């Protein structure tokens, strides 16, 4: 076997142990030599077992103090402290053993003072010299300076990431951190596992890291928050790799380095779905998605296409949004029978032609106006798009024997205080009660805010941070429910599979998030400091805005379903004749642009709704039993 192969099979830590034992023997010999040369000027004498005992005791102390967990490449003050501690404790232990062996015969007491000093020099100098050499060495074949990165996570993702970075001259991996005990002292692709996650700030300083890369694609949201907090303490920039579900779904590539997004910290753990039931509902079916170019609609399109729908028809009144989702779907799913229709769902003629030609079997109605402050002074536009368009599409679904109609609703429809919420609640009432008069299964799915959707607070904050602030929040205590767009769409599909008709399903949104905390976290993710580098300004609640949202009305008495994250709100009946009459009057008021009459109709439909900009009309007729607690 050649010398190179022999060295290759020797574990690096074994070489360190041999080196340290040799240095301990040399230190003991030097200490005695100095003593005899300076004092007695006599020959040195050793007992037979003196060296073996010294090496055995000192080796055990060196191991016990954890010196071999350190890496010479990153030797620093903590390593020197360990050496000093091991030298002093080792001297005391050696003295105790030699007293028992030969009562320190031929071992002057001054040797015990010289030995630890000499040992510290012999153990410390090689380590510091090696680090200095590695740090100052210039790679002549490297075209540009590299960025020193510390990888957080030493599992398969971290190992694969280190290999990819090794091929990229722009990065140099200096080590790993991981909480797994089995990885203590291990080496991955020639780079050491330096310590635990909680040591990230100090280890990053010791190894002079310039960036942290989080390679924990399977981490839960709670684990991710902890890691990001530790990375924040280091003061270094940090990036991450995509989550496993994003890689599997095709939304990201494995080991793609990206900035940590707010979704990584405020999203929830992976949703477990009954994909068999969902496929039974969608596979081989003709599906229509209204508002298919929007945030929720476009993700529904992707998931429906992925689940093997026979044909997909997408309707949107935004030319750009429709173009964008059309290009994506045609590129990703060339075998899918796909049609895009540029139309307004409130246009009865366009909708009649669409249903007659494409004969959809499943309809997801996601088209709606949703900007609360803007709609507060736009009752006619909100009612026309969020209510009358829903009625038009629902009636055509009934006429063309659609199997399942899913209305995408919002938590703002519960005890509404805004025009937007009131209109979505009226749409819920219509679909829930129309189900009793149709063979189509009308299902409503209600949920809160989705992270990074168009018009949501997340892109607004991101733009404000990019502009240097201030970040504007209406109230310091305002809170909202949040979930990611993919999770919301997956639960919508699951609710569609569960529904038998007439239900209002509410998605489990987890714990509400204070908007103030959301803003502060986004500022930190941008590498800035909240309230110092980026100010936060409170502007006051806007008209129709709630301090907190609700997912259920107190009278709905929600119950659990077979899915842990989907709840069912109990049905609240409405007198159908009066409901139909008020909807007809409201439609006439929209055509006549009579907002007073329209306001009157909405108040009749929602007796508990209070208008924020004018008095509630008189002589309001209650159409519903138990809507306000009275018959």
Same domain as 293, residue 249: no
* Nearest of 366, 273, 270, 268 to residue 561 by alpha carbon: 273
HSE, side-chain direction, 13 A CA sphere, residue 291: 24
How many CB atoms sit inside 10 A of residue 284's CB? 12
Q: How confident is the model at residue 624 (pLDDT cuts 50, 70, 90)?
A: very low
**Would you state the pLDDT for residue 441?**
93
Same domain as 564, residue 488: yes
How many domains does the chain divide into? Answer: 3
- Please indicate whether residue 36 or residue 391 has the higher confidence score (pLDDT): 391
Same domain as 492, residue 407: yes
Task: Name 274's Cβ contacts closer than 8 Å, sequence gap at least 6.
Answer: 494, 497, 562, 563
Q: Is it the case that residue 575 has pLDDT exceeding 50? A: yes
Q: Burial code of 149-164, b = ≥16 C-beta within 10 A, e = fewer?
A: bbbbbbbebbbebbee
Question: Cα(530)–Cα(534) distance, rounded to whole angstroms?
Answer: 5
- Please indicate whether residue 252 or residue 581 has the higher confidence score (pLDDT): 581
Question: Cα(86)–Cα(599) distance, rounded to whole angstroms?
Answer: 83
Same domain as 182, residue 328: no
Q: How confident is the model at residue 134 (pLDDT cuts 50, 70, 90)?
A: low
Same domain as 206, residue 101: no
Residue with tokens 């679909």: 431
Cα 332–Cα 334–Cα 335 angle in degrees, nearest 5: 125
Domain contains 607:
no
Q: How confident is the model at residue 353 (pLDDT cuts 50, 70, 90)?
A: very high
Same domain as 532, residue 443: yes
* Nearest of 147, 126, 149 to residue 203 by alpha carbon: 149
- Please indicate whether residue 554 or residue 281 has the higher confidence score (pLDDT): 281
Same domain as 131, residue 160: no
**Would you state the pLDDT for residue 498?**
85
Domain contains 619:
no
Structure tokens at 25: 């023997």
pTM of the complete model: 0.63
Summarize pLDDT for 391-407 with one digit per residue, the tens: 999 999 999 999 999 99
Summarize pLDDT for 283-295 with one digit per residue, the tens: 889 999 999 998 8
DSSP one-letter string for 581-599: HHHHHHHHHHHHT-HHHHH
Residue with tokens 């074994």: 14
- Contact 355/396 with Cβ under 8 angstroms? yes
Question: Cα(46)–Cα(98) distance, rounded to whole angstroms?
Answer: 12
Same domain as 449, residue 379: yes
Domain contains 307:
yes
Domain contains 627:
no
Same domain as 329, residue 229: no
Question: Cα(55)–Cα(619) distance, rounded to whole angstroms?
Answer: 99
**Would you state the pLDDT for residue 146?**
73
Give the domain CATH number at 309. 3.40.50.720
Pairing state between β 536-538 and 471-473: parallel
Cα 187–Cα 188–Cα 190 angle in degrees, nearest 5: 75
Structure tokens at 235: 């003061």
Cα 38–Cα 44–Cα 47 angle in degrees, nearest 5: 140
Burial class (CB within 10 angstroms; exposed 0-12, middle 13-18, buried 19+) of 557: exposed
Least confident of 20-24, 380-384, 456-460, 544-548: 544-548
Q: Is 514 a catalytic residue?
A: no
Domain contains 186:
yes
Per cent of the chain over pLDDT 90 is 23
Pairing state between β 362-365 and 449-450: unpaired
Domain contains 160:
yes
* Nearest of 172, 169, 167, 164 to residue 147 by alpha carbon: 172
Domain contains 104:
yes
Residue with tokens 């769902």: 345
Rounded to the nearest angstrom, the gap between the alpha carbon of residue 595 and the centroid of all alpha carbons in its chain is 44
Pairing state between β 471-473 and 362-365: unpaired
* Cis amide linkage into residue 470, ω under 30° from 0: yes
Domain contains 592:
no
Q: Is it the case that residue 626 has pLDDT exceeding 70? A: no
Q: Write down the catalytic residue from 243, 370, 412, 565.
A: 412
Summarize pLDDT for 53-81 with one digit per residue, the tens: 888 888 888 878 766 665 555 555 667 77
Q: How confident is the model at residue 564 (pLDDT cuts 50, 70, 90)?
A: low
- Please indicate whether residue 304 or residue 28 has the higher confidence score (pLDDT): 304
Sign of CA dihedral 7, 9, 15, 16: positive
Burial class (CB within 10 angstroms; exposed 0-12, middle 13-18, buried 19+) of 263: buried
Mean pLDDT rounded to a whole number for the chain: 79
Question: Cα(247)–Cα(259) distance, rounded to whole angstroms?
Answer: 16
Same domain as 42, residue 116: yes
Q: Which of 260, 286, 314 is the last residue of a domain?
A: 260
Cα 423–Cα 426–Cα 429 angle in degrees, nearest 5: 155
Q: Which of 553, 572, 591 is the last residue of a domain?
A: 572
How many CB atoms sit inside 10 A of residue 81's CB? 11
For residue 245, what are the domain limits? 147-260
Map 247-263 to HEC letters: HHCCCCCCCCCEECCHH
* Nearest of 448, 430, 441 to residue 405 by alpha carbon: 441
Same domain as 152, residue 129: no
Same domain as 173, residue 132: no
* Nearest of 21, 16, 18, 94 to residue 53 by alpha carbon: 94
Q: Which of 106, 136, 166 is the last residue of a domain?
A: 136
**Would you state the pLDDT for residue 478?**
84
Per cent of the chain over pLDDT 70 is 79
């Amino acid at each position: 076997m050649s010398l190179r192969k022999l060295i290759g099979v020797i574990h690096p830590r074994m070489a360190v142990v041999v080196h340290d034992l040799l240095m301990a023997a040399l230190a003991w010999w030097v200490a005695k030599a100095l003593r005899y040369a300076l004092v007695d000027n006599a020959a040195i004498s050793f007992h037979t077992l003196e060296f073996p005992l010294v090496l055995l005791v000192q080796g055990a102390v060196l191991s016990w103090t954890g010196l071999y967990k350190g890496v010479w490449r990153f030797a620093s003050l903590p390593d020197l402290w360990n050496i000093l501690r091991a030298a002093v404790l080792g001297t005391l232990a050696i003295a105790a053993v030699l007293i028992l062996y030969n009562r320190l015969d031929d071992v002057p007491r001054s040797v015990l003072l010289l030995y630890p000093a000499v040992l510290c020099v012999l153990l410390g100098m090689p380590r510091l010299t090696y680090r200095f050499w590695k740090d100052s060495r210039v790679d002549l074949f490297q075209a540009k300076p590299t960025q020193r990165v510390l990888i957080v996570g030493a599992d398969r993702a971290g190992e694969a990431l280190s290999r990819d970075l090794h091929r990229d001259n722009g990065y140099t991996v200096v080590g790993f951190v991981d909480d797994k005990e089995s990885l203590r002292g291990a080496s991955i692709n020639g780079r050491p596992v330096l310590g635990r996650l909680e040591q990230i700030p100090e280890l990053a300083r010791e190894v002079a890291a310039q960036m942290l890369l989080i390679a924990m694609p399977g981490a839960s949201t709670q684990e991710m928050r902890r890691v990001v907090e530790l990375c924040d303490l280091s003061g270094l920039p940090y990036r991450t790799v995509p989550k496993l579900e994003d890689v599997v779904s095709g939304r990201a590539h494995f080991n793609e380095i990206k900035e940590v997004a707010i979704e990584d910290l405020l999203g929830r753990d992976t949703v477990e779905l009954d994909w068999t039931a969902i496929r039974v509902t969608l596979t081989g079916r003709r599906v229509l998605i209204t508002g298919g170019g929007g945030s929720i609609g476009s993700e529904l399109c992707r998931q429906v296409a992925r689940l093997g729908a026979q044909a997909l028809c997408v309707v949107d009144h935004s030319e750009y949004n429709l173009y964008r989702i059309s290009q994506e779907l045609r590129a990703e799913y060339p075998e899918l029978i796909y049609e895009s229709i540029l139309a307004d769902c409130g246009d009865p003629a366009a909708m009649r032609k669409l249903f007659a030609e494409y004969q959809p079997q499943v309809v997801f109605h996601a088209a709606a106006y949703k900007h609360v402050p803007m709609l507060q002074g736009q009752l006619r536009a909100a009612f026309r798009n969020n209510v009358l368009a829903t009625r038009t599409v629902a009636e055509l679904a009934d006429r063309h024997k659609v199997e399942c109609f899913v209305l995408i609703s919002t938590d703002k429809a519960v005890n509404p205080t805004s025009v937007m919420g009131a209109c979505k609640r009226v749409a819920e009432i219509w679909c829930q009660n129309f189900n009793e008069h149709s063979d189509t299964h009308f299902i409503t799915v209600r949920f809160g805010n989705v992270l990074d959707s168009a018009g949501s607070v997340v892109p607004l904050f991101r733009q404000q941070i990019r502009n240097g602030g201030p970040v504007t929040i209406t109230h310091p205590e305002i809170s909202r429910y949040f979930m990611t767009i993919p999770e919301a769409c997956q639960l919508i599909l699951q609710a569609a599979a569960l529904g038998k008709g007439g239900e209002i399903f509410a998605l489990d949104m987890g714990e509400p998030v204070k908007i103030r905390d959301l803003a502060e976290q986004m500022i930190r993710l941008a590498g800035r400091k909240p309230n110092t580098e980026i100010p936060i300004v409170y502007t006051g609640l806007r008209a129709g805005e709630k301090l907190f949202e609700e997912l259920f009305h107190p009278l709905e008495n929600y119950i659990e379903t077979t899915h842990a994250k989907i709840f069912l709100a109990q049905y609240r009946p409405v007198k159908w004749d009066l409901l139909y009459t008020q909807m007809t009057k409201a439609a006439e008021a929209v055509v006549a642009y009579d907002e007073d009459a329209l306001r009157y109709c909405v108040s009749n439909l929602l007796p508990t709704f209070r208008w924020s900009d004018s008095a509630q009309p008189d002589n309001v007729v209650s159409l519903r039993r138990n809507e306000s607690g009275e018959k």
